[in-house]
Amino acid sequence: MFRRLPESDTATLRFKIDGRPATGRAGESVAAAMLAAGVVTCRTTPIGGQKRAPYCLMGVCFECLVTIDGIGNRQACLIPLTEGMDIRSQDGARDMAGEPVTEAAP
Amino acid sequence: MKRLANVVELAASYDLAIIGAGPAGMSAAVTAAEAGLSVLVLDENGAPGGQIYRGITGTPVKRREILGAEFWRGEEIVAGFERCEASYAPHATAWSLAPDGSKGFEIGVSLGGAVRHIHASEVIAATGAHERPFPIPGWTLPGVMTAGAAQIALKANALVPDGRVVIAGCGPLLFLVTAQLLAAGANIVAVLDTAEPGNWRRALPHLPGFLRSPYLMKGLRLLLKARRANFISRVTALRAEAGDDGCLARVAHTRGSTETTLACDTLLLHQGVVPNINLANAVGCEQDWDDGQLSFVPRIDDWMQTSIPGLSIPGDGGGIRGAEAAALGGTLAALGAAARLGRLSQDERNQRAAPVRAEFERLSAGRAFLDALYRPPKAFRVPAEAETIVCRCEEVTAGEIREVVAGGVTGPNQLKVFLRCGMGPCQGRQCGLTVTELMADARGVSAEAIGSYHLRPPFKPVTLGELASLPSNDAAVKAVVR
């Protein structure tokens, strides 16, 4: 768990973490916002169901995989937080069957 | 600097593509753009600076003394980068790189949810370093993270670990993070120093180079600040233990014959940084085992060029030398590239490089001393306990690896087939070095003889949706549509 330095700007972006409302700062990653919101565990592993949490915060460990707006296996430490994001901790392997169909960007 | 947010803004071809916007990538971009090259910089982060200057353009940390003067040195490099003529794509991932005959390279780029292949005559892969794996019992528990991660959270987000913090390991960054977190008001219960006392003797022959480098004064200032924490030296074993909730609750450490357990909320691990070799390895660059840095390092020449002509790796990705040397290495790589493209004569190149190289060598000379002094002990590189997880993604333990090695598995690539070790999403970044050293230990041969995983593109994950966005010509469509 992390706390914000008192001098940092107020967190103004609203998002949800596992259905719970929380706020984050513009410009921060999903992983940073989760840590500041008191998240300790962000997923369980596909192999043994072990609890895991962000580990490296720089895109190399892939421990911070979460479901963002219905899409699984997103690297929370590399994705910027945006207003209204629905972030869910991921239970085991990504469930693609439940994911919304998206059109590929041009 | 021209900022790009979408693949459609990418040109089909550039003189030089730079992967990574840390000190090496930024200074390479400045030098190359000045020489008149068309330059594209691709970076995974949302702002320039790399990991060392992470968050420097927008950190919410207001009190500059928390991050220290060495961090703010990056402002000048970023300012130069922002003034230069290069194109810069933040939040971009390069996931493939293939030599394209004598003409250059084809690079797979993911940006804004779509992918494109672009062409570049020269490539500078300034992919930097990541922290060395630290496989101890319990290192996968929530509550355990790398010291570098805590530093990134502080630099980029003004976040400080709440509750009781234990920092463990060795290396210059351990002292830096300790000093920064103390300044930010963290409650550091203990710093468990794993450096071996005998390291001093091995480091001594490298002292002259260290004394010539600027590391001495920096190091002394840092030691004075960090030493205010409760340092516990000569730690020979570590174990992270879970509470009832399955998250970190305690850390046990051994000193002499005594084991002590400390209750804590966050454990930060660090035992040095190693080159991030995934791209170089996947492209097929020759690499050597560096016994001083205990890692594989791509083979590079005086202009940071790898065994693949036109592909250069300056900065920590080509061997750990630190941020200042990385910036100078980036300049040398760009001068080399510009000369190969005929934009600089050899004389001009050499003339401009001379003062840069002198300083680069002065800085590099200090490194061997630090490598020897903070050489991570074998006990923390080659886990002795059978249950310790080596491959975090596929949950493969040291015991399982030793077992298949005893059964005749000879190298890391064969190991993948037996245990899926190294085949998870991190693509071996977190287990590669441990696997090499563990197999070397089990077989009684050198790490060089064991070798590393053979990695393949895509060297970063790319989704099918992104791949489907690749423009296709008639021939490609006819090949799959009937």
Question: Per the domain annotation, does B233 fall within a domain?
Answer: yes
Assess contact for B24 and B126: CB atoms under 8 A: yes
Q: What is the CATH number of the domain that holds B412?
A: 1.10.10.1100
Assess contact for B435 and B412: CB atoms under 8 A: yes
pLDDT value of residue A102: 61
Note down the domain range covering A36.
13-94
Note down the domain range covering B427.
382-450
Q: What is the CATH number of the domain that holds A26?
A: 3.10.20.440
Would you call A60 an interface residue with chain B, using a CB distance cutoff of 8 Å? Answer: yes
Question: Per the domain annotation, does B11 fall within a domain?
Answer: yes
Return the SS3 of B297: strand
Between CA B285 and CA B300 the distance in angstroms is: 9
DSSP 8-state code for residue A93: S
Chain A residues 65-104 with CB within 8 Å of chain B: 65, 73, 78, 80, 102, 104
Question: Per the domain annotation, does A103 fall within a domain?
Answer: no
Would you call B465 an interface residue with chain A, using a CB distance cutoff of 8 Å? Answer: yes
Question: Per the domain annotation, does A67 fall within a domain?
Answer: yes
The partner residues of B93 in beta bridges, in order of sequence, read: B110
Q: Are residues B137 and B267 in the same domain?
A: yes
Question: Per the domain annotation, does A69 fall within a domain?
Answer: yes
CA A18 to chain centre: 10
Q: CA of A87, closest CA in chain B: separation in Å? A: 18
Query: Residue A89: its chain B contacts at CB < 8 A?
Result: none
Q: Are residues B126 and B169 in the same domain?
A: no
Query: Residue B161: its chain A contacts at CB < 8 A?
Result: 1-2
Q: Which residue of B has its CA nearest to A7?
A: B62
Return the SS3 of B436: helix
Q: Mean pLDDT, consecutive 10-residue segments, chain B of 482 residues? A: 96 97 98 98 97 95 93 96 98 94 90 94 98 98 98 97 97 95 97 94 92 83 86 97 97 97 98 97 97 97 97 98 97 98 97 98 92 96 97 98 97 96 95 98 97 93 86 78 73
Between CA B25 and CA B326 the distance in angstroms is: 9
Between CA B434 and CA B459 the distance in angstroms is: 19
Query: Residue B245: its chain A contacts at CB < 8 A?
Result: 40
CB nearest B159 (choices: A36, A51, A102)? A36
At A37, give phi and psi (nearest 5°): -85, 10
- The total of structural domains in chain B comes to 3
Assess contact for B339 and B121: CB atoms under 8 A: no
Q: Show the tokens assigned to A10.
A: 């107020």
Between CA B115 and CA B107 the distance in angstroms is: 10
8 Å CB contact of B60 and A41: no
Q: At residue A68, what is the residue type?
A: I
Q: CA of B247, closest CA in chain A: separation in Å? A: 8
Q: At residue B50, what is the residue type?
A: G
8 Å CB contact of B392 and A61: yes
ipTM of the complex: 0.95
Question: Per the domain annotation, does A27 fall within a domain?
Answer: yes
H-run or E-run covering B189: strand B187-193
Q: Which residue of B has its CA nearest to A80?
A: B46
Q: Are residues B183 and B67 in the same domain?
A: no
Q: Cα-atom radius of gyration of chain A, to the nearest Å?
A: 14
Between CA B155 and CA B71 the distance in angstroms is: 9
Q: Are residues B237 and B317 in the same domain?
A: no
- The total of structural domains in chain A comes to 1
- Angle, helices B23-34 vs B74-83, to 10°: value is 40
At B98, give phi and psi (nearest 5°): -130, 125
Between CA A1 and CA B267 the distance in angstroms is: 11
Would you call B100 an interface residue with chain A, using a CB distance cutoff of 8 Å? Answer: no
Question: Per the domain annotation, does B369 fall within a domain?
Answer: no
CA B20 to chain centre: 11
H-run or E-run covering B179: helix B172-183
Most B CBs within 10 Å: which of A8, A29, A56, as the mutation test of the B interface? A56
Question: Per the domain annotation, does B473 fall within a domain?
Answer: no
Q: What is the pLDDT of residues B240-288, one digit of tens each?
A: 999 999 999 999 999 999 999 999 999 999 999 999 999 999 999 999 9
Q: What is the pLDDT of residues B93-106, one digit of tens each?
A: 999 999 987 689 99
Q: Are residues B75 and B198 in the same domain?
A: no
Question: Per the domain annotation, does B20 fall within a domain?
Answer: yes
8 Å CB contact of B130 and A60: yes
Tally: H helices and E strands in chain A = 1, 8
Q: Which residues of B31-43 are buried (b: 16+ CB within 10 A; e: fewer)?
A: bbbbbebbbbbbb
CA B62 to chain centre: 27
At B46, give phi and psi (nearest 5°): -85, -10
Q: What is the CATH number of the domain that holds B300?
A: 3.50.50.60
Return the SS3 of B138: coil
CB nearest B395 (choices: A1, A36, A45)? A45
Q: Pairing between strand A65-68 and A86-91?
A: antiparallel
Would you call A21 an interface residue with chain B, using a CB distance cutoff of 8 Å? Answer: no
Q: Are residues B389 and B429 in the same domain?
A: yes
Q: At residue B258, what is the residue type?
A: T
pLDDT value of residue B225: 85
Count CB-CB contacts under 10 A for residue B290. 17
8 Å CB contact of A8 and B62: yes
Return the SS3 of B193: strand
8 Å CB contact of A102 and B425: no
Q: Where do the DSSP E strands lie in B20-113? A: 39-42, 87-89, 92-99, 105-111
Q: Are residues B124 and B138 in the same domain?
A: no
Assess contact for B330 and B28: CB atoms under 8 A: yes
8 Å CB contact of B468 and A45: no
Question: Per the domain annotation, does A40 fall within a domain?
Answer: yes
Q: CA of A98, closest CA in chain B: separation in Å? A: 16
Tally: H helices and E strands in chain B = 19, 23
Would you call B452 an interface residue with chain A, using a CB distance cutoff of 8 Å? Answer: no
Between CA B153 and CA A65 the distance in angstroms is: 17
8 Å CB contact of A61 and B45: no
Between CA B449 and CA B443 the distance in angstroms is: 10
Between CA B376 and CA B382 the distance in angstroms is: 10
Between CA B310 and CA B336 the distance in angstroms is: 9
Query: Residue B430: its chain A contacts at CB < 8 A?
Result: 60-61
Question: Per the domain annotation, does A86 fall within a domain?
Answer: yes
Count CB-CB contacts under 10 A for residue B44. 22
Q: Are residues B323 and B197 in the same domain?
A: no
Q: Are residues B70 and B186 in the same domain?
A: no
Q: Are residues B192 and B291 in the same domain?
A: no
8 Å CB contact of A102 and B465: yes
Assess contact for B299 and B311: CB atoms under 8 A: no
DSSP 8-state code for residue B204: G
Residue B405 to residues B177, B223, B442, Cα–Cα distance (Å): 38, 42, 7
Most B CBs within 10 Å: which of A3, A60, A91, as the mutation test of the B interface? A60
Instruction: Please report where in the chains the tokens 């960007």 appear, as a residue.
Output: A105
The partner residues of B290 in beta bridges, in order of sequence, read: B295
Q: Are residues B148 and B265 in the same domain?
A: yes
Q: Which residues of B170-189 are buried (b: 16+ CB within 10 A; e: fewer)?
A: bbbbbbbbbbbbbbbebebb
Between CA B371 and CA B273 the distance in angstroms is: 10
Query: Residue A102: its chain B contacts at CB < 8 A?
Result: 465
pLDDT value of residue A103: 58
B88 Cβ partners below 8 Å, 6+ apart?
A: B1, B2, B3, B4, B21, B29, B40, B41, B43, B48, B81
Would you call A58 an interface residue with chain B, using a CB distance cutoff of 8 Å? Answer: yes
8 Å CB contact of A5 and B160: yes
Would you call A23 an interface residue with chain B, using a CB distance cutoff of 8 Å? Answer: no
Q: Are residues B92 and B159 in the same domain?
A: no
CA B330 to chain centre: 16
pLDDT value of residue B347: 98
Mean pLDDT is lowest, of A1-15, A46-60, B158-172, B212-226, for: B212-226
